[in-house]
A and B are shown apart, each in its own frame.
Chain A
Amino acid sequence: MRDFAVLYLQQFKTTFASMLQYRASLFIWMISAVLEPLIYLIVWSTVSVSRGGSVGDYTAGQFAAYFIVFMLVNQVTYTWIMYEYEYRIREGLLSPALLRPVHPIHADIAENISSKLVTMPVMILIAGGLALIFKPTASFQVWTIFAFIPALVLAFLIRFLIEWTLAQSAFWTTRVSAFNQVYFVLVLFLSGQIAPLSLFPRAIQVLANILPFRWMIGFPVELILGRLTPIQALTGIAAQVFWLFVSLGLVRVVWRAGIRIYSAVGA
């Protein structure tokens, strides 16, 4: 355990330094992280205004709250590992990572977290600015804030592990872009990215509950905005724990199979 703490601390130090080096590109990535929820915020609040105030169970102000919080939760949980892995395997960059005595996923987790430490303050400022412009309305309760923390941590872990597993598809094919695109479309519709899930037909909502996408972003957002009952929150966290175990299993299986066929293309 202590070894892991030392390992992570060191990884944080090195990646933090390199993140600060490339902070410009970090902030460039943030633009798309802001723009997409911003567009849907504007689309849905326009629709709700044209309908005389609300769409489904959301008013314009509640849409603003939803998409601003969604932007922040997405910022906490998102990864870029699926782009990165294809490059790593194609260029043979995975080889040095394999020589290390620890599983390479730890370095990736540390890198992910440290880059977010750099970008998060700016993201919160942007969220504050958007809040001034779009005037969100939300009612926070004490228990939802406490329940939000484990939900957010679980959401981060599930998303990281699943996307890390998907990134391993680069072991089998060097054309991962089509594969990634299908994944992003599923995230778009089933995580609540394009619209809150309660606006979708019943069948889609059921599907979203079964699949992992809602548990990676939408669920913590709905939770902190006070849209879930305590029972729904508990069920949700249970679903997250279930997906955590599934994704941990996937990481092990897929990594072992992938590493067996890796032959360092380009080396």
Chain B
Amino acid sequence: MNYLRLFGVYFRLSVMNELAYRVNFYIQLFQSVVELATALTGLAVIFSYTSTLAGWTANEMLALVGVYFITGGMIGLVIRPSLEQFIASVRDGTFDFTLVKPEDAQFLMSFQIVNIWKLIDIVMGFAVLTTALIRLGSKVGAGQAVGFGIMLLTGTIIIYCFWLVLATLSFWFVRVENILVIFQSMYEAGRWPISLYPGWLRFALTFVVPIAFATTVPAQALTGHLTLETLIGALTAAAVLSVVSRFVWRIGLRRYSGASA
């Protein structure tokens, strides 16, 4: 409860900060529209030559693009800006200030920055997703909607834990901001269904860099292609990664000695 309140404070602070730079809204809107148009044009080029890609129809791919934008928006909203700030603060020693606060440092640093304009991506993602579902003509039952919600949440938790482990590496290595660049570029792979990739890459995108859980799996939940094994696998992965990332965080924290002191 206390955490929710704290998150509310961070959110309000970010809103106040960002409202001073209102032109950022238009820039982000422009960038998101360009990104969406690019994704859709790319799909149009590919689907002008084929009717299914790795078993996914054009409309199912559209749903996947929607999920890609929603999850990507959530990463960009809180996870990415906060963890980038965290890495910078370990480098210049201002992480000290987070540590002296009387709340859990992992929580504080994970939610310290909210890039509110990324809400545009999330809204746009839901719009694309809705369009896709209407065009698919499928009735989304309550079960599917709940399944989708859970898988979206699971996927986001998995991605958060993964980023947290990467960011925690900054306790050992100073220049890790580039590792986040890796993830960001690998996240691009999530725009396509995981079944498209050859086995070794599918393995890597599921177990090494768990992007499959963030986009393909929620989209499958919505289009009714989700198997029970995948569902259980995703829930297990989220649980295991939560524990592991917390563990790595605590070990890393012990190494931190403060750069400015």
B residues 52-70 near A (Cβ < 8 Å) are 52-54
> Are B30 and A28 in contact (CB-based, < 8 A)?
no
B175: nearest chain-A partner, CB-CB: A25
Q: Please name the 9 residue pairs, one residue from A and one from B, whose CB atoms are nearest each other, closest first.
A: A32-B185, A28-B178, A25-B178, A47-B50, A178-B27, A55-B49, A31-B182, A185-B38, A28-B182
B184: nearest chain-A partner, CB-CB: A32
The number of A-B residue pairs with CB atoms under 8 Å apart is 81
> Are B185 and A178 in contact (CB-based, < 8 A)?
no
The interface residues of chain B lying within 8 Å CB-to-CB of A56 are 49
Binding site for B on A (CB under 8 A): 22, 24-25, 28-29, 31-32, 35-36, 38-39, 42-44, 46-47, 50-51, 55-56, 133, 175, 177-178, 181-182, 185, 188-189, 194-195, 199-200
> Are B178 and A42 in contact (CB-based, < 8 A)?
no
A-B contact list, 12 entries, CB within 8 Å: A24-B178, A28-B182, A31-B186, A32-B185, A32-B188, A36-B188, A42-B198, A43-B53, A47-B50, A51-B50, A178-B31, A178-B34
The interface residues of chain A lying within 8 Å CB-to-CB of B35 are 181
From known contacts A35-B188, A43-B192, A133-B198, infer whether A182 and B34 are also in contact, taking CB-CB under 8 Å: yes
| B197 interface residue per 8 A CB criterion | yes
> Are A43 and B46 in contact (CB-based, < 8 A)?
yes
The interface residues of chain A lying within 8 Å CB-to-CB of B197 are 42
- Shortest C-beta distance, B217 to chain A (Å), equals 19
The interface residues of chain B lying within 8 Å CB-to-CB of A32 are 181-182, 185-186, 188
From known contacts A22-B175, A39-B189, A51-B50, infer whether A181 and B182 are also in contact, taking CB-CB under 8 Å: no
B residues 174-225 near A (Cβ < 8 Å) are 175, 178-179, 181-182, 185-186, 188-189, 192, 196-198, 201
Interface size classification for chain B: 20 to 34
> Are A194 and B42 in contact (CB-based, < 8 A)?
yes
> Are B186 and A35 in contact (CB-based, < 8 A)?
yes
> Are A46 and B53 in contact (CB-based, < 8 A)?
yes
- Shortest C-beta distance, B124 to chain A (Å), equals 15
> Are A36 and B45 in contact (CB-based, < 8 A)?
no
- Shortest C-beta distance, A44 to chain B (Å), equals 8
- Shortest C-beta distance, A38 to chain B (Å), equals 8
> Are B49 and A194 in contact (CB-based, < 8 A)?
no
> Are B27 and A28 in contact (CB-based, < 8 A)?
no
From known contacts A36-B185, A50-B52, A188-B38, infer whether A177 and B175 are also in contact, taking CB-CB under 8 Å: no
- Shortest C-beta distance, B205 to chain A (Å), equals 10
| B41 interface residue per 8 A CB criterion | yes
B195: nearest chain-A partner, CB-CB: A46
The interface residues of chain A lying within 8 Å CB-to-CB of B185 are 31-32, 35-36
> Are A46 and B182 in contact (CB-based, < 8 A)?
no
A181 CA to B39 CA, complexed, in Å? 13
The interface residues of chain A lying within 8 Å CB-to-CB of B34 are 178, 181-182, 185
From known contacts A46-B53, A178-B31, A185-B34, infer whether A39 and B42 are also in contact, taking CB-CB under 8 Å: no
A29 CA to B181 CA, complexed, in Å? 8
From known contacts A25-B175, A31-B186, infer whether A178 and B30 are also in contact, taking CB-CB under 8 Å: yes
- Shortest C-beta distance, A233 to chain B (Å), equals 26
A194 CA to B24 CA, complexed, in Å? 29
B residues 138-192 near A (Cβ < 8 Å) are 173, 175, 178-179, 181-182, 185-186, 188-189, 192
The interface residues of chain B lying within 8 Å CB-to-CB of A36 are 185, 188
B197: nearest chain-A partner, CB-CB: A42
Q: Which of A35, A46, A199 contacts B45 (CB 8 A)?
A: A199
A39 CA to B35 CA, complexed, in Å? 17
> Are A177 and B38 in contact (CB-based, < 8 A)?
no
The interface residues of chain B lying within 8 Å CB-to-CB of A189 are 38, 41
From known contacts A31-B185, A35-B188, A178-B31, infer whether A51 and B49 are also in contact, taking CB-CB under 8 Å: yes
From known contacts A28-B179, A47-B46, infer whether A177 and B198 are also in contact, taking CB-CB under 8 Å: no
The interface residues of chain A lying within 8 Å CB-to-CB of B23 are 175
> Are B196 and A42 in contact (CB-based, < 8 A)?
yes
Apart from the given pairs A32-B181, A46-B53, 20 other A-B contacts in the complex at a CB distance below 8 Å: A24-B178, A25-B178, A28-B181, A32-B186, A35-B186, A39-B189, A42-B196, A43-B196, A50-B50, A50-B53, A51-B49, A177-B27, A178-B27, A178-B30, A178-B31, A182-B34, A188-B38, A188-B42, A199-B45, A200-B45
A152 CA to B43 CA, complexed, in Å? 30
A21: nearest chain-B partner, CB-CB: B175
